[in-house]
Amino acid sequence: MEKRKLGNGGLEVSAIGLGCMGMSHGYGKPADKKEMINLIHKAVDTGITFFDTAEVYGPFTNEELVGEALSSLRDKVIIATKFGIFIDAKGKQAQDSRPETIRRSIEGSLKRLKTDYIDLYYQHRVDTNVPIEDVAGTIKNLIKEGKVKYFGLSEPGVKTIRRAHAVNPVAAVQSEYSLWWRKPEEELIPTLEELSIGFVPFSPLGRGYLTGKIDEKTSFDKSDFRNILPRFTAEARKANHAIVELIDKIALQKKATSAQIALAWLLSKKPWIAPIPGTTKLYRLEENIGSLNLKLSPEELKTLDDASLKIKIEGNRYPEELEKRSGL
Residues near 181 by beta carbon (within 8 Å), at least 6 away in sequence:
203, 206, 313, 317
Q: What are the C-alpha distances in Å from 139 to residues 101, 148, 157, 168, 300? A: 12, 7, 19, 8, 42
Please say if 117 is a catalytic residue: no
HSE of 78, CA atoms in CB hemisphere, 13 A = 27
**Using an 8 Å Cβ cutoff, are 48 and 15 in contact?**
no
**Using an 8 Å Cβ cutoff, are 118 and 149 in contact?**
yes
Distance CA 211, CA 254 (A): 15
DSSP-assigned beta bridge partners for residue 120: 80, 150
Distance CA 161, CA 164 (A): 5
* Catalytic pick among 27, 57, 121, 209: 57
Q: Which amino acid is at 152?
A: G
**Using an 8 Å Cβ cutoff, are 325 and 85 in contact?**
no
Q: Which amino acid is at 43?
A: A
Residue 59 preceded by cis peptide, ω within 30: yes
Q: Cβ of 309: how many Cβ atoms within 10 Å?
A: 11
Residues 293-305 as b/e (b if ≥16 CB within 10 A, e otherwise) read ebebeeebbebbe
**Using an 8 Å Cβ cutoff, are 285 and 257 in contact?**
no
* Residue 228 host element (H or E): none
Q: 3-class DSSP state for residue 176?
A: strand
Q: 3-class DSSP state for residue 297?
A: coil
Give the residue numbers marked as catalytic: 57
